[in-house]
Amino acid sequence: MLLMNLSGTEVLLAGGSLVLGLLLLTAALRRRFRRTRETRTSGLDRTKYLQTDVHRFRMTFWRLGLVTALALATLAFSWTTYDLRPMVITVGEVETELIDMAPPITEHRPPPPPPPPQIMTVDNSVILEDTTVFQSMDIQAQAAVAPQPAVIAKPATPAYIPPPPPREDNVPPFFKVVEDMPYFGECQHEADKDLRKQCSDRALIDFMSRQLKYPVLAQESNVSGTAVVRFIVETDGSLTDIEVVRDPGAGLGAEARRVVELMAEQGGWTPGRQQGRPVRVQFNLPVRFQLR
């Protein structure tokens, strides 16, 4: 099957060339038929009125129509379509709105149950002899038998097992806002914080626009929206704890997370600083997907 990839300019040029070719072909045919009419010498040709001959151009027009239809069909099937690119709007004032830090959940594990009581095993191989003791049934008034007190066995108290000590996490804390916020790209030449933030936003938009691909399911379902990815910029500039905190669905959140993970692999982040030392900073990155 013949496949052609043509742009809009090439299609217009091809159409113009086709029209010009038809005009030149029409002019050549007129000139040819005019010469043929002048050179006719037979009596039948002299008495035949060419103006009333409706079939003299039938084959010519049929061929021209066939060529034109095939050319237009080829151009229509070869019309190039391009993939939709997402519009990306990043950063802004979302960080103070979307960063709701939940208190850490401490896992309280119940103490393990006490061990089951030990069962005494009896050796069935020992044969006990039944000894019958016969007592006299004579009742003597002087001999009084004192009743024996009942002995009640106390239940065994299980040994106390203390609960395991709480697990201490050695993960250092992170900040939401610091004196020098982390930035992306080569923006260290900007001394002003606002100019540095604008430079970082431009670098983020450029990276996300080049790497993002609109999911096919979202295109077919006409789904658009804003996905928010949260991560932590470590003290060495690496990215950890990448998670999607807002997902419009249809694969948009997964695509935004994929690009952030790609950003983490390639690097390019400068850590934030508090009182002159690098610290861990939590960052929210909103990515807007919109069909155009």
Cα–Cα dist 289/292, whole Å: 10
Q: Are 248 and 271 a contacting pair, CB within 8 Å?
A: no
pLDDT digits (tens, 9 = 90+) for 174-203: 898 898 899 998 888 888 888 999 999 999
pLDDT value, residue 291 = 81
Tokens read off for 158: 């299980």
Is the pLDDT score of 130 beyond 90?
A: no
Is the pTM of the predicted complex or chain greater than 0.75? no
What number of CA atoms fall less than 13 Å from residue 95's CA on the CB side? 16
Task: Supply the pLDDT for residue 15.
Answer: 75
Tokens of 164: 């395991």
> How far apart are alpha carbons 210 and 257 in whole angstroms?
15
The residue written with tokens 């990155």 in the block is: 285
Q: Tell me, what's the pLDDT at 228?
A: 93
Confidence of residue 145 (pLDDT cuts 50, 70, 90): very low
| 135 Cβ neighbours under 8 A, 6+ residues apart | none
How many C-beta atoms lie closer than 10 Å to residue 279's C-beta? 20
For 151-182, how does the pLDDT look when each residue is reduced to its tens digit (9 = 90+)?
A: 555 555 666 666 766 555 566 788 988 988 99
State mean pLDDT over 263-267.
88
Instruction: Please report which helix (H) or strand (E) contains residue 246, including its range.
Output: strand 239-246
Q: Are 176 and 282 in contact (CB under 8 A)?
A: yes
Per-residue pLDDT, 133 = 47
pLDDT digits (tens, 9 = 90+) for 7-57: 667 777 777 787 788 788 878 877 877 776 666 555 555 555 556 666 677
Residues 182, 233: contact at Cβ < 8 Å? yes
Between CA 37 and CA 56 the distance in angstroms is: 12
CATH topology of domain 95-99+172-289: 3.30.1150
Q: What is the pLDDT of residue 280?
A: 93
Task: Look over the chain and give the mean of its residue pLDDT values, rounded to a whole number.
Answer: 74
| Contact (CB, 8 A) for 284 and 98 | yes
Residue 4 has pLDDT above 80, yes or no: no
Q: How confident is the model at residue 262 (pLDDT cuts 50, 70, 90)?
A: very high
What is the crossing angle of helices 8-39 and 58-77, to 10°?
A: 170
Token pair, residue 146, equals 């004192």
Structural element, H or E, at residue 232: strand 225-233
Cα angle 17-20-22, degrees, rounded to a multiple of 5: 110
Whole-number pLDDT of residue 229: 93
Question: Residue 290's pLDDT band (boundaries 50, 70, 90)?
Answer: confident
The pLDDT assigned to 171 comes to 65
Mean predicted confidence (pLDDT) in 62-70: 82
pLDDT at 94: 42
pLDDT digits (tens, 9 = 90+) for 84-122: 555 554 444 444 344 444 555 556 677 888 777 766 665
| Structure-token match 């010519």, residue found | 60
228, β-bridge pairs: 246, 286
Confidence at residue 110, expressed as pLDDT on a 0 to 100 scale: 77
- Model pLDDT, residue 112: 81
Annotated domain spans of the chain: 8-77, 95-99+172-289
What amino acid occupies position 104?
Answer: P
What's the pLDDT score for residue 137? 45
What 3-state DSSP class applies to 273? strand
Q: Residue type at 247? A: D
Residue 232 has pLDDT above 90, yes or no: yes
Q: How far apart are CA 90 and CA 12, in angstroms?
A: 38
Q: Which residues pair with 18 in a beta bridge?
A: none
The mean per-residue pLDDT over the stretch 59-66 comes to: 80
> Does position 230 have pLDDT exceeding 70, yes or no?
yes
